[in-house]
A and B are shown apart, each in its own frame.
Chain A
């Protein structure tokens, strides 16, 4: 399910998908910065324009609307729960609305970027723009093995559930810790094998 959510639409073909990844990253970051920085009572028309442009981009990129809506709705509760705190002040409602609009639009921009750009291309752009090499290696390895480990965690959980008939609260804590520690041991061992494989292929 997780894998579906991520990579399903990256392979799709559209004018937006074919654009240079660096350009898309720059536009997304620039747009987010502009939307955050613009002073608000005066900036509402700009935000509206940005929303229209992003909806047009989404249409051009032929992404399913349901997918975009689902991603937005999944992330919106976090935004909302922090935004509620803004209400506790003088003219809090204005701040609340401004924050909510800004972060929802930025969220939409980042979702569009992530859905139309393969992550490997983003890594390549970061490497070209002088991002530290070790960092890129760590991020690329993390992305590569994320799904492996999520699958592994799922298998550990299932195995644990099939062996445990009654799960009290104490048992749940112990088994969560057990799964996490096992997951780490397995990833540490896997990293040894990966290192050997990397060396065998001439990595330094």
Chain B
């Protein structure tokens, strides 16, 4: 999902850079005000950890493999502000050191994968956590938030590409979101398994830092505002537009989805496009909505299964 240089134009680059700077500034302020200095080396190590974990591939199917993004994992382990800083650091080092993700697209990449995926994912995590407590609730919330964060980030990325007039919206959203709805299942499964494993030790605090240590409304408000503004600016202008290159897109997707099939967790839709619906992007939206409900259910099944197998002697 790393956007290279040349794919987004000046207005998109500036807008995303401004959003990222605002999100990062908020995160840094929070960390300075409420986190103990011990958190600094922990954030550095977590950034290195996320980087190393991203290099471990997991099999998706038929020889293809995906890898972890880690935004929600970082959130659950360290809290949203620290996660925004950690993910931004990972992206900055990837850009400057490995030329992975363009320097002019750095703002967009930080916005998608640090602000949207971490802060947005954390919002979803916290909401599910409010509804269901305990170990099961944590595992299920992690899995669902991980899937949502990957899909949200990919949709936002598609919106930025379309806003820059590089890639037409239907092609961008069907390819990016369609693919990441499948990749997100892997992310959800790995994140849930990792949290379940760490949960058996005493590392995790009973609640993530922000939920327990006195809620920080300004943090939630700024992050919430940034996420919704970003989605409103980059995604909503296209959500109602009707595509003309439908057949091409479908042909492309047919080719595309042969490579990435079902991962370990089975879902009823083999290819996330329900035939007979007028527009590819509308179909993607519908598949996304149905997928979200299905993943929500699956997350709880997974949590139940993991919790049981953990408590078994």
Residues of A within 8 A of B (CB): 6, 28-29, 32-33, 35-37, 71, 75, 78-79, 82-86, 88-89, 95, 98-103, 106-107, 110-111, 113-114, 119, 122, 132, 134-135, 137-146, 148-150, 152-153, 157, 169-170, 172-174, 176-185, 187-188, 190-192, 194-195, 198, 204
Contacts and interface: CB of A to CB of B under 8 A. Distances in A.
B99 A114 contact: yes
A148 to B, nearest CB: 8
A142 B51 contact: yes
A145 B44 contact: yes
Given A88-B252, A135-B28, A177-B194, A146 B48 contact: yes
Given A36-B104, A138-B85, A187 B46 contact: yes
B97 A6 contact: yes
Interface stretch (B129-137, B166-174, B208-216, B217-225): B166-174
Contacts of B201: 185
Contacts of A152: 52
Interface stretch (B1-9, B117-125, B268-276): B1-9
Given A85-B161, A179-B56, A180-B68, A29 B103 contact: yes
Interface in B51-91: 51-53, 55-56, 58-59, 68, 77, 85-86, 88-90
The main secondary structure of chain A at its interface with chain B is: helix
A184 B31 contact: no
A75 B6 CA distance: 14
B258 interface: no
Contacts of B171: 85, 88-89
Given A99-B7, A103-B5, A169-B59, A142 B189 contact: no
Given A106-B102, A198-B41, A184 B85 contact: no
A185 B198 contact: yes
The 4 closest A-B pairs by CB, nearest first: A141-B44, A102-B6, A177-B193, A106-B5
Interface stretch (B32-40, B144-152, B228-236, B287-295): B32-40
B264 interface: yes
Contacts of B277: none
B45 A191 contact: yes
Given A88-B168, A150-B52, A191 B42 contact: yes
B100 interface: yes
A194 B41 contact: yes
A139 B193 contact: no
Contacts of B6: 35-36, 98-103, 106
Interface string B90-118: 10110111111011100000000000000
A79 B4 contact: yes
A134 B85 contact: yes
B299 interface: no
A77 B123 CA distance: 34
A37 B43 CA distance: 35
Contacts of A187: 45-46, 48-49
B260 to A, nearest CB: 12
A138 B74 CA distance: 14
Contacts of B205: none
